[in-house]
Amino acid sequence: MIRFLQKSGQTTKYILAALLLLICASMVITLIPGGLGSDTFSGGTGKGVIAKVNGQDISTDEVSRTAKQAADQQAAQYGEMAARIRPFLMQQATQQAVERLITRQALLDEANRIGLRANKQEVLDELQHGRYAATFFPGGNFIGEQEYKGMLQNAQLSVAEFEDSVQKDIVLTKLQALITNSASVSENEIHEQFLKQNTKVKFDYAVLKQEDLKKGLHPTDTELKAFYQSHLATYNNSIPERRKVKYAVIDSNKVEASVQVTPEDLASYYRDHREQYSLPAQVKVSHILIKTPTPGPDGKVDDKGVAEAQRRAEDILKQIKGGASFEDLAKKYSEDPGSGKQGGALGWLGKGQTVPEFDKTIFSSPKGLVPDLVRSATFGFHIIRIDDKQDAHVKPLDEVNSEIEPILKHQKAQQVAQQQAESLLKDAKTQGLDAAAAKHNVPVITSDFFGRRDMLPGLGPSPQFMESVFAAQEKSPPDLASSSQGSVVYELLATKPPATPTFDEIRTKVEDEFKTEQSRTLLTQKAQELSDRAKNTHDLKKAAKELGAAMKTSDLVPPDGQVPDVGSMSGQASVAFTMKPGEITGPISSGGDAAVLQILQNQQPTEADYSSKRDQIRDSVLQQKQQERFALFVSNLIDELTKSGKIKRNEEELKILMRSGSESGM
């Protein structure tokens, strides 16, 4: 199957900033469970440095730029809501950027240590034929030195900085290949995975429900008080700190409704961001894949198998050129499981999104053509149809006005709202919040006592506001904080420290927790007793009747199936696929239920199924092995550098960046 890096939709918006994201680092970081976890700086720290890796600085500017690029991409998916949630996206993107940059630097250092390099020719090849080709070489032609430099300057990069980044990405790709290329899959592993994925079972099962057991419990006050005392450490200070404020909100949505965007504003923004509306050359393609045999353990390919694949592909091509339906033949013969079911349709593709042999053919062939047979070294023989073509172009201003206007309205509204909030705060500090709010015609709200996770009227989810309020000191002057609705001028009125509730205050909660704990224990005991009785008598139905369990029968279910009251068959219930008819399982837990299964039927897949699915399963298992191998390599590397003190993080600088980034949206 062709592994396209294809985005949905018929056209893809190529924004230079997106190309400058750390693609390799983004991939790597997802493979590290639990993040990086490194030491903080000790002693004095250089301002503007977020972290050090092997003595190399990860600068605040670099983190900020990387986070902004990521947040811009994410915000684009939310349309009109983007402006409201952007502060939250920036917080998340900033944390991720730190982890990615640390990982990237650690991997680059390791690649350098073992002698991996990328020369200038490799960088040029990547720019001309790789993921940057559509931007810098549309239609195969270089955009020109001046425009090249200009695009990079708009992204706040010099040519040297950008090409150095591309060179490093090539080195990281080489490192990943070096680590993963030795991964292999045996025939036995493929067959085991095939059986695991395609065996089906049918079973009777008896179900016990924790909720039913819980209803039968009636604890006394003595039992509940004893439970309260034994769990007192859990309840200690369980009533969180609470605070009371009065506040006035400058609602940015109301401000935005009154903001006007002129044609001059739109034209100016379009000129400054013209590259964002550039569309690359694209081809709409359909194909039929006939796979060639994969190399054997000795690295050799079965020539007879290749010849047979070519014969089949040529026969299909002949039928198509004779007038047969491409779609029907793709559904019948294509061995690309993704596109084959869709009549061969792959949709719109940009340069560099497919294997080189395929890519070269589709961009050099005219619309409507079915070229001669194409063989790719990776997959096999391809029969291709060029359905449509689109030259590289820039969307005109009229077409993107509706995209630009909300961005400008939000930017203007943010500026106006910020000015209004600062003016309100200034007056509140000298005249008091009530008088200042009346002067600015903004209502003042006085809250009840609330906790950090509560929501206040007119604010919505506002973690920044809560962080500011709960950091404030009593009798402090009014202050300014951000919320999802806009800017908030507030005054802290009173504070209640954390407290431990009395038994009477939380009797209902204690009773519920007592019943939950007792019913869970009972469920475990009864489920084990049910399994033991059923196994002793070889009769699950009889044991279920004796213990009051409900009996049910499943359908014939696959390993990725779901069964009511049992849950996912890929969890504890997966043991059923290894058992013979008549055998009885131990207790299987699923949420608040427990079940015992007796197998009725174990349906094994056929060898014909194996033949049709073997290659797909092999690719999947190999890819998983490669990912696991590289993830382990990265995890061990980061762990080693952390323990040796070669990764250090500046938590104070990160807090400052997080705060400034989320408040401004950067």
Give the pLDDT score at 26.
37
- Residue 605 tokens, joined: 């897949």
Fold of 282-390: Chitinase A; domain 3 (3.10.50)
pLDDT at 1 over 70: no
CA 406 vs. chain centroid, Å, equals 27
User: Among 105-109, 376-380, 605-609, which is the least confidently predicted range?
Assistant: 376-380
Tell me whether domains 16-183+624-664 and 282-390 share a fold.
Answer: no
pLDDT digits (tens, 9 = 90+) for 277-299: 888 889 999 999 999 887 766 66
Place of tokens 């915000």: 75
> In the prediction, which pLDDT does 321 show?
92
Beta strand spans in 280-368 (E): 282-291, 345-350
CA nearest to 333, candidates 309, 302, 350, 357: 309
Confidence check: pLDDT of 148 > 90: no
State both tokens at 62.
């670099």
Closest CA to 209 of 569, 574, 520, 568: 520
Confidence tier at 371 by pLDDT (50, 70, 90): very high
pLDDT band at 93 (very low <50, low <70, confident <90, very high): confident
Residue 446 β-bridge partners? 246
314 membership: H or E segment, kind and range:
helix 303-321
Average pLDDT over residues 130-139: 81
Half-sphere exposure of 382 (CA within 13 A, CB side): 30
pLDDT score, position 12: 29
Residue 45 predicted with pLDDT over 60: no
- In one letter, which amino acid is 162? F
> Which pLDDT score is estimated for 240?
93
- The CA angle 482-250-471, to the nearest 5 degrees, is 30
Query: Regarding predicted confidence, which is higher, 391 or 514?
Result: 514
pLDDT given at position 150: 82
Q: Using an 8 Å Cβ cutoff, are 225 and 612 in contact?
A: no
Output b/e per residue, 613-625; b: 16+ Cβ within 10 A: bbbbbbbebbeeb
Q: What is the rounded distance in angstroms from the CA atom of residue 481 to the CA atom of residue 479?
A: 7
Is pLDDT at 21 greater than 90 in this prediction? no
* Fold for the domain defined by 200-214+506-603: Chitinase A; domain 3 (3.10.50)
Whether the pLDDT of residue 354 is over 70: the answer is yes
The domain segmentation of the chain, as residue ranges, is 16-183+624-664, 200-214+506-603, 242-272+397-496, 282-390
pLDDT classification of 6: cutoffs 50, 70, 90: very low
Name the band, by pLDDT with cuts 50, 70 and 90, for residue 4: very low
CB 497 within 8 A of CB 449: no
- What mean pLDDT value characterizes the chain? 86
Is residue 462 exposed (0-12), middle (13-18) or buried (19+ Cβ within 10 Å)?
buried
Helix (H) or strand (E) holding 279: strand 278-279
Whether the Cβ atoms of residue 4 and residue 78 lie closer than 8 Å to each other: no
Question: Is residue 223 predicted with pLDDT exceeding 90?
Answer: yes
Predicted confidence (pLDDT) at residue 13 exceeds the cutoff of 60: no
Confidence check: pLDDT of 361 > 50: yes
Backbone angles phi, psi at 456, to 5 degrees: -100, 150
Task: For residue 183, give the amino acid letter.
Answer: A
Q: What pLDDT was estimated at residue 662?
A: 52
Nearest to 289 by CA among 386, 383, 359, 385: 383
Q: What is the pLDDT of residues 266-280, one digit of tens each?
A: 999 888 888 888 888
The per-residue pLDDT for range 491-512, each reduced to its tens digit, is 999 999 999 999 999 999 999 9
pTM over 0.95: no
Q: Regarding predicted confidence, which is higher, 480 or 139?
A: 480
Give pLDDT, residue 2.
Answer: 33
> Which bin fits 246, alpha (ψ -120 to 50), beta or left (φ > 0)?
beta
- CA distance to 4, 172, 358, per residue, from 116 (Å): 27, 9, 29
Tell me yes or no: is domain 16-183+624-664 CATH 1.10.4030.
yes
Residue 609, token pair as written in the block: 């199924």
How confident is the model at residue 239, as a pLDDT?
92
Tokens of 70: 């990521």
* Chain CA centroid to CA 290, Å: 33
Residues 542/267, Cβ–Cβ less than 8 Å:
no
Cα-flanking dihedrals φ and ψ of residue 21, to 5°? -65, 155
The pair phi, psi for residue 567, each rounded to 5°, is 90, -150
The pLDDT-based confidence of 134 (bands split at 50, 70, 90) is confident
**What CA–CA distance (Å, rounded) separates 470 from 241?**
9
For residue 33, the tally of other CB atoms under 10 A from its CB is 7
CB 335, CB 291: distance < 8 Å: yes
The SS3 assignment for 141 reads coil
Distance CA(571)–CA(578), nearest Å, equals 13
Q: What amino acid is encoded at 579 in this protein?
A: M
Residue 490 CB coordination number (10 Å):
27
Segment holding 25, helix H or strand E: helix 23-29
pLDDT at 489: 95
Give the bridge partners for 207, in sequence order.
550, 595
| Helix (H) and strand (E) counts in the chain | 25, 20
With DSSP H G I counted as helix, E B as strand and the rest as coil, what are the percentages for the chain, rounded to 5? 55, 15, 30
| Cross-strand partners of 563 | 567
Q: C-alpha 28: how far from its chain's center?
A: 13
